[in-house]
Structure 1
Amino acid sequence: MKAIRFERYGAPEVLALLDVDEPHPQAGQVRIKVRAVGVNGIDWKIRAGQLREMLDPPMPAGTGSDAAGIVDEVGDGVTGVQAGDAVFGFGAGVLAEYAVLEAWAGMPDGLSFEEAAGYPIPVETAFRILDEVGIQRGQTLFVSGASGGVGTAVIQIAGDRGITVIGTASAANQDYLRALGAVPTTYGDGFADRVRALAPDGIDAALDISGSGVIADCIALTGDPSRVLSIADFTATQQGAKVSFQPGDKAAALRRAAALYAKGALHIPVEKTFTLADVAAAHAYSEAGHAAGRTVITVA
């Protein structure tokens, strides 16, 4: 089968389309004929070698963890799914014609493979960090860097829970945040004052998604470092804030996301699609940032 591999760390051009052996599911896993794969920041950070102290895969390494497709093989002990079912979920090195998933959920009616492929990491992260930061119905949440996949999911999940969200994004993405249900403002110098003006009753919790050096300002906005959580700034704990990076129950998060989509409360748009042959361009586009929604690679 065709699959994307890289033999050394480096720029997007180290990614190559190769012929490799097909994978097969072990107990508790399923294999899918891949239709689409979501591109996440962690994908290009691993490829570039930025995370080699924590994640140093043997070479040649695959890339991609979020995929959607049609089940064609089911491992021992797996129930509730069969060949022919459309699913989306988590695996390793899923940017290939076939991939093995370790956690998955059935796709609700109307959800495309392209959109579903952009869900796994964003929705799992969004559910987890909203729960960990302790924000409640009727309260106000600030989100730094709110226009990407995780921010898009956070805004809608929080809105479904009756939480007001104020989010920062580039000037070009202000209308995008507003359409999701957030109160938008721009990031950069003076953003904390702009947020205060939008939240006269104060900010109850803050999430740092972008990792752009905003922890001190977030603490000042909430008045309590324990009410600030980052997924991108691992120095946040030095200021008393929280850091979250360990996934929770992935399959449960996918099922929760499918249920929200089915009731019309969740939609993570695909901002740009690429083909398997254009994977280097897809990584470069994701790495450049500022996308509103998801970057997805179509495989079949």
Structure 2
Amino acid sequence: MTMRAAALTEFGGPEVLRPMDLPVPVAGPGQVRIAVRAAGVLPFDLGVRGGWSPPGVTPRFPVVPGNEFAGTIDQLGEGVTGRAVGEDVLGFGLLGGYAEYVVVPADQVVAKPAEMPWEIAGGFSGNGQGAHLALGELRVGPGDTLLIGGAAGGLGTFAVQLARAWGATTVIGTASPANHDYLRELGAVPVAYGEGLVERIRELAPGGVDAALDAAGPEGLRAAVEVTRDRDRVITMVATEEAARLGLRDWGGTRTAARLAELVELYRRGAVRPRLRATYPLDRAADAHRDLATGHGRGKIVLTVR
């Protein structure tokens, strides 16, 4: 039995990510198999395609990227309890999401709300948990003024809404001018990238900001360090080399079903509403990677699988 997948047999640019027919995986002990409906596209996946290996993983060709997905459980492994065949779920892994079937541990999925569209569910876990981990690390809470670099992207969209849900008084978001109205809709105060960024932020927050989350790159991270009162409350999702050069602390975290369930509940209450930037069919996964690599646009890119 075979399935359709977007996979690579060599590392390289988007062109190495091609449609393939591969064997359908089987759920082992403690695992569930998901008939995938949609899968999110993340910078993590672009790194895998380029040859980066997630910690503790040695990919073997063919490699199927994709570490967030939504679909329906169609097989339970030995010993799995609390899940059922036919249950609609969303979840996370490290690899394998760009396919008609994916197998993950049963504790890496949660029930999908009936009102959540498949495309939203497929791209929910990665950016949602990333934003949750980052804002938790920054101790964002009531009364804070938070700076988010790259606020219109998939992670930034989630982070703006989550910060407001956690009580941040002001969220300043950097983005290109074309996305400023979008940020206002999310509840952020927009500011343009480029020369003079530090001065523009200081006009909005003369006393500095309480915390800063960079998802834009080295330039934005340097600006964040200048305007944040406590360097210990500055972290980056992307500019790790620049963070080390600036002497910022290293940080990390682990995705969990409990964290994902908390985010799903916020979705149910209307506190977070991820936005779709584009959807691509599975066979056009390479085009989805090209789109994400531009660094432009707003919201989430998702592959539709079924």
Q: Report TM bin, short chain.
A: over 0.9
Q: Is the 8 A contact 1:231 1:243 kept in 2?
A: no
Q: What is the CA–CA distance in structure 1 between the aligned matches of 2:222 and 2:18, rounded to whole Å?
A: 41
1:105 counterpart residue number: 110
Which residue in 1 is equivalent to 2:127?
122
Mapping of 1:206-245 within 5 angstroms?
A: 206-235=212-241, 236-244=243-251
Tell me the percent identity. Answer: 40
What secondary structure is seen at the aligned counterpart in 2 of 1:213? helix
Alpha-carbon deviations, 1:6-45, whole Å to 9, x = none? Answer: 1111121111211111112223321111100100011112
Matched, 1:38 2:43: no
AA of the residue aligned to 1:197: E
Distance (whole Å) between structure 1 residues aligned to residue 98 and residue 178 of structure 2: 30
Q: Which residue of 2 aligns with 1:288?
A: 294
Say what the alpha-carbon RMSD is for the aligned residues: 1.7
Residue 130 of structure 1 deviates from its aligned partner by: 0.6
Change (3 A) 1:269 1:53: closer
Q: Displacement of 1:286 after TM fit?
A: 1.0
Q: 1:233-272, aligned counterparts within 5 Å?
A: 233-235=239-241, 236-244=243-251, 246-272=252-278
Of residues 89, 96, 102, the one that matches 1:87 is 89
Query: Which residue is equivalent to 1:155?
Result: 160
Unaligned runs of 5+ in 1: none
State the alpha-carbon separation in 1 of the partners of residues 246 and 229 from structure 2: 12
Q: Which runs of 5+ in 2 are unaligned?
A: none
Bigger drift between 256-265 and 94-103 goes to 94-103
Q: Secondary structure at the match of 2:23?
A: coil
Contact preservation (8 Å) 2:48, 2:54: no
Instruction: Tell me the distance in 2 between the aligned counterparts of 1:53 and 1:294.
Output: 22
Deviation per residue, 1:182-221 (Å, 9 max, x gap): 1111111111111111123430011111223333321211
Aligned length: 298
- What corresponds to 2:183 in structure 1? 177
Please, what TM-score do these two structures have when normalized by structure 2? 0.92
Mapped partners of 1:148, 1:109: distance in 2 = 25
Structure 1 counterpart of 2:284, from 274, 278, 283: 278
Shift of 1:135: 2.2
1:29 to 25, 28, 31: 31
Residues 206-253 of structure 1 deviation map (CA, whole Å, 9 limit, x = unaligned) = 111122333332121113321111111112133232344x44242112
The residue number in structure 2 matching 1:62 is 64
- TM-score, normalised by the number of residues in structure 1: 0.94
Given that residues 4 and 15 in structure 1 are in contact (C-alpha distance below 8 angstroms), is that contact kept between their aligned partners in structure 2? yes
Q: Using the alignment, how far apart are the partners of 2:32 and 2:54 within structure 1? A: 30
State the 1:172 CA deviation. Answer: 1.0
Give the 3-state SS of the residue equivalent to 2:239 in structure 1. Answer: coil
Q: Give the 3 Å change call, closer, same or farther, for CA 18–253 of structure 1 in structure 2.
A: same
Is the 8 Å Cα contact of residues 5 and 98 (structure 2) preserved in structure 1? Answer: yes
Q: Of 186, 196, 201, which aligns to 1:195?
A: 201
